[in-house]
Chains A and B, each alone.
Chain A
Amino acid sequence: MIGGLFIYNHKGEVLISRVYRDDIGRNAVDAFRVNVIHARQQVRSPVTNIARTSFFHVKRSNIWLAAVTKQNVNAAMVFEFLYKMCDVMTAYFGKISEENIKNNFVLIYELLDEILDFGYPQNSETGALKTFITQQGIKSQPQTKEEQSQITSQVTGQIGWRREGIKYRRNELFLDVLESVNLLMSPQGQVLSAHVSGRVVMKSYLSGMPECKFGMNDKIVIDKQGKGGATDDSGKSELGGSSGKQSIAIDDCTFHQCVRLSKFDSERSISFIPPDGEYELMRYRTTKDIILPFRVIPLVREVGRTKLEVKVVIKSNFKPSLLAQKIEVRIPTPLNTSGVQVICMKGKAKYKASENAIVWKIKRMAGMKESQISAEIELLPTNDKKKWARPPISMNFEVPFAPSGLKVRYLKVFEPKLNYSDHDVIKWVRYIGRSGIYETRC
Chain B
Amino acid sequence: MTWGRVSVGEMPYLGSEETVKELKRALSNPNVQSDRLRYRNVILRVIRFMTQGLDMSPLFMEMVKAGASVDIVQKKLVYLYMCTYAKLKPDLTLLAINTLRKDCADPNPMVRGLALRNMCNLRMPGITEYIQQPVLTGLRDKASYVRRVAVLGCAKMRNLQPDAEIDGTVVNELYGLLRDPDPVVMVNCLRALEEILKAEGGVVINKPIAHHLLNRLKDLDAWGQSETLGFLLRYRPRDDTELFDILNLLDGHLQGGDSAVTAATLRLFLQLASGHPTVQADALVRARGPLLATCTASSRELRFTGLCHVQRVLRSLPAQFSPDYKKFFCSYSEPGYIKFRKMEILVELVNDDNVVLVLEELQAYCTDVSPELAQAAIFAVGRIGRTYSERGLAILTGLLGLRQEHITSAVVQTFRDLVWLCPQSTACVCQAIAGCEEIIQDSDGKQALIWLLGMHGDQISGAPYILEDYIDSLKTELSTLVKLELLTAMTRLFLSRPAETQDMLGRLLHFCIEEETDMCVRDRALFYHRLLRCGVEETRQVLGGPKSDPSLGLIAGRPEEPINNWAAHFNTLEPVSSSGSVVAGIGCDGAALPTLGGSDGTTHSAANCTLAVQEASEDLCSGLPEEATSFSLTLGPALTPEAFEKLWLELETFQTVSLPCSEPSSQPETLQAALQLVQIQALAFSRPGSVPWKAYLYAHGSETIILAELLCGPGSDEDRLLVTVKQEPRDEKVQRGFLSVLETVLQTLVSDAT
Chain A residues within 8 Å of B, Cβ to Cβ: 1, 11, 13-17, 19, 22, 26, 29, 42-47, 49, 54, 56, 58, 72-77, 79-83, 102, 105-106, 109-110, 113, 117-118, 120-124, 131-132, 134-135, 151-152, 154-158, 160-161, 180, 182, 184, 192-193, 195, 197, 251-252, 254-255, 257, 260-262, 264-265, 283, 285, 385-387, 389, 391-392, 394, 436-437, 439, 441
Q: Are B185 and A13 in contact (CB under 8 A)?
A: no
| Residue in A26, A80, A121 with the greatest tally of chain B CB atoms within 10 Å | A80
Contacts of A76 in B (CB 8 A): 259-260, 263, 294, 302, 305-306, 571
Q: Are A385 and B144 in contact (CB under 8 A)?
A: no
Q: Are B367 and A389 in contact (CB under 8 A)?
A: yes
Contacts of A80 in B (CB 8 A): 222-223, 258-260, 302
B383 at the interface (CB under 8 A from A): no
Contacts of A15 in B (CB 8 A): 51
Q: Are B335 and A74 in contact (CB under 8 A)?
A: no
Q: Which listed residue, A29, A195, A385, touches B404 by the CB 8 Å rule? A: A385
CA distance A268 to B614 in the complex (A): 60
Q: Are B299 and A79 in contact (CB under 8 A)?
A: yes
- Shortest beta-carbon contacts, A-B, top 6: A157-B182, A76-B260, A252-B289, A77-B260, A46-B301, A121-B223
- Interface segment among B463-471, B572-580, B724-732: the answer is B572-580
CA distance A236 to B324 in the complex (A): 35
CA distance A123 to B149 in the complex (A): 12
Q: Are A192 and B218 in contact (CB under 8 A)?
A: no
| 12 contacts across the A-B interface (CB closer than 8 A) | A77-B222, A113-B76, A152-B109, A156-B182, A160-B183, A192-B326, A192-B361, A254-B259, A257-B221, A386-B402, A387-B367, A441-B364
Contacts of A22 in B (CB 8 A): 123, 159
B2 at the interface (CB under 8 A from A): yes
Q: Which listed residue, B47, B110, B335, B573, touches A43 by the CB 8 Å rule? A: B335
Which residue of chain A has its CB nearest to the CB of B146?
A154
Which residue of chain A has its CB nearest to the CB of B43?
A106
Q: Which listed residue, A14, A182, A252, touches B51 by the CB 8 Å rule? A: A14
CA distance A79 to B308 in the complex (A): 14
Contacts of A193 in B (CB 8 A): 326-327, 329
Contacts of A102 in B (CB 8 A): 8
Contacts of A117 in B (CB 8 A): 117, 148-149, 152, 188
Binary A-proximity of B508-519 (CB < 8 A = 1, otherwise 0): 000000000000
CA distance A315 to B605 in the complex (A): 51
Q: Which listed residue, A46, A252, A261, touches B300 by the CB 8 Å rule? A: A46
CA distance A94 to B574 in the complex (A): 35
Contacts of A82 in B (CB 8 A): 301
Q: Are A157 and B144 in contact (CB under 8 A)?
A: yes
Q: Which listed residue, A44, A155, A262, A391, touches B336 by the CB 8 Å rule? A: A44
B30 at the interface (CB under 8 A from A): no
Name the distance in Å between A147's Cβ and chain B's nearest Cβ.
14
Known: A17-B51, A118-B191. 15 other contacts (CB 8 A): A45-B582, A47-B577, A72-B574, A106-B44, A109-B80, A117-B152, A120-B152, A120-B223, A122-B184, A192-B361, A193-B326, A193-B327, A251-B289, A389-B368, A439-B333
Which residue of chain B has its CB nearest to the CB of A250?
B289
Q: Are A45 and B579 in contact (CB under 8 A)?
A: yes
Name the distance in Å between A392's Cβ and chain B's nearest Cβ.
5
CA distance A80 to B704 in the complex (A): 52
CA distance A102 to B80 in the complex (A): 17
Q: Are B53 and A26 in contact (CB under 8 A)?
A: yes
Q: Which listed residue, A79, A158, A184, A264, touches B305 by the CB 8 Å rule? A: A79
Contacts of B72 in A (CB 8 A): 134
B298 at the interface (CB under 8 A from A): yes
Q: Are A123 and B218 in contact (CB under 8 A)?
A: no
Q: Are B331 and A79 in contact (CB under 8 A)?
A: no
B697 at the interface (CB under 8 A from A): no
B659 at the interface (CB under 8 A from A): no
Q: Are B76 and A389 in contact (CB under 8 A)?
A: no
Decide: A155 near B145, CB < 8 A? Known: A117-B117, A122-B184, A436-B298: yes
Which residues from 2 to 61 on chain B have a C-beta closer than 8 Å to any C-beta of chain A?
A: 2, 5, 7-8, 44, 47-48, 51-53
Decide: A180 near B571, CB < 8 A? Known: A134-B72, A155-B182: no
Contacts of B123 in A (CB 8 A): 22
Name the distance in Å between A349's Cβ and chain B's nearest Cβ.
21
B742 at the interface (CB under 8 A from A): no
Q: Which listed residue, B222, B332, B334, touches A257 by the CB 8 Å rule? A: B222
Chain B residues within 8 Å of A, Cβ to Cβ: 2, 5, 7-8, 44, 47-48, 51-53, 72-73, 76-77, 80, 84, 107-110, 117, 123, 143-145, 148-149, 152, 155-156, 159, 180-185, 187-188, 191, 218-227, 230, 251-253, 255-260, 262-264, 289-290, 292-294, 296-302, 304-306, 308, 326-327, 329, 331-337, 361, 364, 367-370, 402-404, 571-574, 576-577, 579-583
Q: Which listed residue, A56, A74, A120, touches B264 by the CB 8 Å rule? A: A74
Contacts of B305 in A (CB 8 A): 75-76, 79
CA distance A387 to B364 in the complex (A): 12
Name the distance in Å between A22's Cβ and chain B's nearest Cβ.
6
Contacts of A106 in B (CB 8 A): 44, 47, 73, 76-77
| Residue in A77, A132, A135, A160 with the greatest tally of chain B CB atoms within 10 Å | A77
Q: Are B226 and A77 in contact (CB under 8 A)?
A: yes
Q: Are A254 and B252 in contact (CB under 8 A)?
A: no
CA distance A77 to B326 in the complex (A): 27
Name the distance in Å between A432's Cβ and chain B's nearest Cβ.
14
| Residue in A122, A197, A387 with the greatest tally of chain B CB atoms within 10 Å | A122
CA distance A439 to B334 in the complex (A): 12
CA distance A264 to B182 in the complex (A): 24
Name the distance in Å between B418's Cβ and chain A's nearest Cβ.
24
Contacts of B44 in A (CB 8 A): 105-106
Q: Are B256 and A154 in contact (CB under 8 A)?
A: no
Contacts of A392 in B (CB 8 A): 332
CA distance A73 to B576 in the complex (A): 11
Decide: A49 near B73, CB < 8 A? Known: A74-B230, A76-B302, A392-B332: no
Name the distance in Å between A14's Cβ and chain B's nearest Cβ.
6
Q: Which listed residue, A56, A135, A182, A385, touches B296 by the CB 8 Å rule? A: A182
Name the distance in Å between A132's Cβ and chain B's nearest Cβ.
6
Which residue of chain A has its CB nearest to the CB of B300?
A46
Decide: A123 near B184, CB < 8 A? Known: A152-B107, A156-B144: yes
Decide: A154 near B144, CB < 8 A? Known: A44-B582, A193-B327: yes
Q: Are B183 and A157 in contact (CB under 8 A)?
A: yes
CA distance A109 to B40 in the complex (A): 14
CA distance A438 to B451 in the complex (A): 45
CA distance A22 to B225 in the complex (A): 26
Contacts of B220 in A (CB 8 A): 160, 257
Q: Which listed residue, A73, A155, A161, A436, touches B573 by the CB 8 Å rule? A: A73
Decide: A197 near B109, CB < 8 A? Known: A44-B583, A47-B573, A394-B333: no
CA distance A252 to B292 in the complex (A): 9
Name the distance in Å between B9's Cβ and chain A's nearest Cβ.
9
Name the distance in Å between B312's Cβ and chain A's nearest Cβ.
12
Decide: A120 near B191, CB < 8 A? Known: A47-B577, A254-B259: yes
Contacts of B47 in A (CB 8 A): 105-106, 109
Contacts of B225 in A (CB 8 A): 257
Name the distance in Å between B120's Cβ and chain A's nearest Cβ.
8
CA distance A436 to B298 in the complex (A): 8
Name the distance in Å between B578's Cβ and chain A's nearest Cβ.
11
Q: Are B108 and A151 in contact (CB under 8 A)?
A: yes
Contacts of A1 in B (CB 8 A): 191
Contacts of A19 in B (CB 8 A): 84
CA distance A152 to B2 in the complex (A): 42
Contacts of B257 in A (CB 8 A): 254-255, 261
CA distance A270 to B109 in the complex (A): 35
Q: Are B294 and A109 in contact (CB under 8 A)?
A: no
Which residue of chain B has its CB nearest to the CB of A107?
B73
Q: Are A118 and B156 in contact (CB under 8 A)?
A: yes
Q: Are B582 and A75 in contact (CB under 8 A)?
A: no
CA distance A285 to B255 in the complex (A): 13
